[in-house]
A and B are shown apart, each in its own frame.
Chain A
């Protein structure tokens, strides 16, 4: 008897992704869609897309989506969740959107303990606009606006968003995961599921930071980009759960 082991999640529309070959967004979209399918909440989920490569996320998720102004996704999600508290509300934001122009919105949404989930995709540069330096660009990393490598004298240091937000009392669940190899993809899905389950329990703000690659702007083949991520990003952005409320299962 043949078992179907892997099919496209129902929560993804049939539209092909517009992302570059090997881009991590496709994997992360699929993980979110699988979790929504498994929790059976597709009919009550509302997503908020950011500005960046993921600006077109509303085309790919088969539930209600809203598109926010640059960086303002947590504020828009706050409004939606407060008006419709029975819905599952999440934002899907990149590092340029969340950690730069949207830093005020994310910090205050976390501090207020808004009962939303944030999927924060960190690929250490601004992907959509051509690979410029982002707040998460590593020291010495070459980008189109730091061609000699990020100088910490001039541009300062990268922001560790998960650690920073975990110091606040509002968040109930904060984790950093990665997708650079199959075991990490499983762990990433588990963290995304925990975040949505925590939101369903209504205990506070939840965020999953997903380290991802940007092969086109990093100038690497997709598999090389995952190796670069593992070698360079993991030491600066350690993986793990930075905040987990009581009642969250720790079955790793």
Chain B
């Protein structure tokens, strides 16, 4: 757990120090990827609290979710359908779900 927090802090510092920013055309992809990353992170936290954390599942979930969400976003832009809304909606719901379970587990303890 402490590693995760330290990693997050390192990441934030790295992001602040990195010059430049995301070009506007890639902004939707990036936001969707961020959503997927957050979702996986919360999923991992929940799994860790439930006690069935699996590193492989966590890692593969992290990257595959990001890849899929970015692909969906791309396909949506290609087809002129706002797929990224679906991605953000589903991932957002999952984040809330995970958070609710984490909260319950935390309170139960």
Partners in one complex: no
Binding site for A on B (CB under 8 A): none
